[in-house]
Amino acid sequence: MGSVSLKIGDGTARFKRATLCSSAVNILMIFSVITTNLFAYYAFTSSPKTQLHHVHNNNISLISDHVSLILKEIDVNQKKLAQMEKQLLGYESIDLSRPNIANELKIFLQGHQLPLGKDSRTGITEMASSVGHFCEKNTDLLSQFMSYKVSGPCPDDWSVAQKLILQGCEPLPRRRCFGKTIPKVGLQTFPISLWKNVSNKTVNWSGLNCKSFECLNAKKLSRECIGCFDLVNGYENKRFVKAKSKNDFLVDDVLALGSGGIRIGFDLGGGSGSFAATMADRNVTIVTTTLNIDAPFNEFISARGLFPLYISLGHRFPFYDNVFDLIRAGSALDIGGKPEKLEFLMFDIDRILRAGGLFWLDNFYCANEEKKQALTRLIEKFGYKKLKWVVGEKVDSVGSGKSEVVLSAVLQKPSRA
């Protein structure tokens, strides 16, 4: 019985930690404790005459029957508690027994036992397929995404996929259908491709309001993309080599701060990829993250001969620790929400940047002084060396339209024990 009460103790402790916890859980806990005690009471007091007789006959099986009944009851209640905990946390694995779940989703998510049993090097016995846990929040859309003819053409549904990703359903499940292709007429050879206009014909414009890059150029899509598809006549080819304000650093100055050790880097929310192109001119390889919000950024970046990474900022970066020499982030870093969200992001940036590597915060719009101070405090927590630190003021022509505090900085990651 000792181990039994210990188990209940664990459950209570867990629920005390989850302060969200409603009285429903408490009621269930009390119920669980009462039933346990009732069973115990029953086990040792009911029909004393007959049972004592059996016990005197050393009939252990009767007692062990009761005990296993009690344990079963506790087990059921603990499962109920776990279920409630999951619901409170907003996390639950996808219930594949629900109606209207696409069959392909079930097949994809089924675990597959390794044919030769446990793998001695990794210790795994099963190959699991991963999907983001927020996929559960929108199983209808997910099932729509997973409804297709196996080995047939995929539906024209890139916007459904992106909607799921933006809701936190990331990674998406894999599919067994053939994606649409496009002939990609007019691709240039590298490195000429870096600064030549990209042909409209490299993109399938289905599902987008604009049907050409000329159309997109007339729009202010984001702070990272104002006329960013005109690589010839616009400002894009001067962005990182000519300063418009004191907040604009020049790539050559930043590279000089890295004293020759800058070879690979990562650009967060890098618009049409011009930072990566400017760095490619200097033999530095940059991976650019971008989704396709209102424009075919991924197609455009790849047409330039650069590396687009289709991933949201909510996703842990798919890179190992200490791999990058340089990480640049502009206003994309402004992910909103609770301060903890930005903190998680900053820790992930820190993780993939090597010691001595540079973090370039490029024209971060702070809205107000208070936000700037919060960001400054967060950055200072990491103990980076401030190689450049410029606070300015700019009119936010894409966002609020008001004058905002703008922070640009180049920070060097320290080595930590």
Ligand X SMILES: *[C@@H]1O[C@H](CO)[C@@H](O)[C@H](O)[C@H]1NC(C)=O
Binding site for ligand X (CB under 6 A): 54, 57, 59, 61-62, 156, 180, 182, 197, 199-200, 204, 206, 212-214, 217, 230, 232-233, 282-283
Phi, psi of 54 (to 5 degrees): -65, -40
Report the residue number, 68 or 206, with the smaller CB distance to ligand X: 206
Question: Smallest distance from the beta carbon of 212 to ligand X, in angstroms?
Answer: 3
Question: Smallest distance from the beta carbon of 80 to ligand X, in angstroms?
Answer: 30
Question: Smallest distance from the beta carbon of 374 to ligand X, in angstroms?
Answer: 39
Report the residue number, 116 or 218, with the smaller CB distance to ligand X: 218
Question: Smallest distance from the beta carbon of 310 to ligand X, in angstroms?
Answer: 18
Question: Smallest distance from the beta carbon of 235 to ligand X, in angstroms?
Answer: 12
Question: Smallest distance from the beta carbon of 51 to ligand X, in angstroms?
Answer: 8
The 3-class secondary structure across the chain, one letter per residue, is CHHHHHHHHHHHHHHHHCCCCCHHHHHHHHHHHHHHHHHHHHHHHCCHHHHHHHHHCCCHHHHHHHHHHHHHHHHHHHHHHHHHHHHHHCCCCCCCCCCCCCHHHHHHHCCEECCCCCCCCCCCCEECCCCCHHHHHHHHHHHHHCCCCCCCECCCCHHHHHHHHHCCCCCCCCCCCECCCCCCCCCCCCCHHHHCCCCHHHCCCCCCCCCCHHHHHCCEEECCEECCCCCCCCCHHHCCCCCCCCCCCCHHHHHHHCCCCCCEEEEECCCCCHHHHHHHCCCCEEEEECCCCCCCHHHHHHHCCCEEECCCCCCCCCCCCCCEEEEEECHHHCCCCCHHHHHHHHHHHHHHEEEEEEEEEEEEECCCHHHHHHHHHHHHHCCCEEEEEEEEEEECCCCCCCEEEEEEEEEECCCCC
Q: What would the two tokens of residue 98 be?
A: 């629900």
Question: Smallest distance from the beta carbon of 304 to ligand X, in angstroms?
Answer: 13
Question: Smallest distance from the beta carbon of 61 to ligand X, in angstroms?
Answer: 5
Question: Smallest distance from the beta carbon of 50 to ligand X, in angstroms?
Answer: 9
Report the residue number, 8 or 215, with the smaller CB distance to ligand X: 215
Report the residue number, 274 or 312, with the smaller CB distance to ligand X: 274
Report the residue number, 44 or 347, with the smaller CB distance to ligand X: 44
Report the residue number, 73 or 230, with the smaller CB distance to ligand X: 230
Report the residue number, 62 or 390, with the smaller CB distance to ligand X: 62
Report the residue number, 28 or 264, with the smaller CB distance to ligand X: 264
Distances (CA, A) of 146 to 93, 108, 127, 142, 177: 17, 10, 20, 6, 10
Report the residue number, 310 or 319, with the smaller CB distance to ligand X: 310
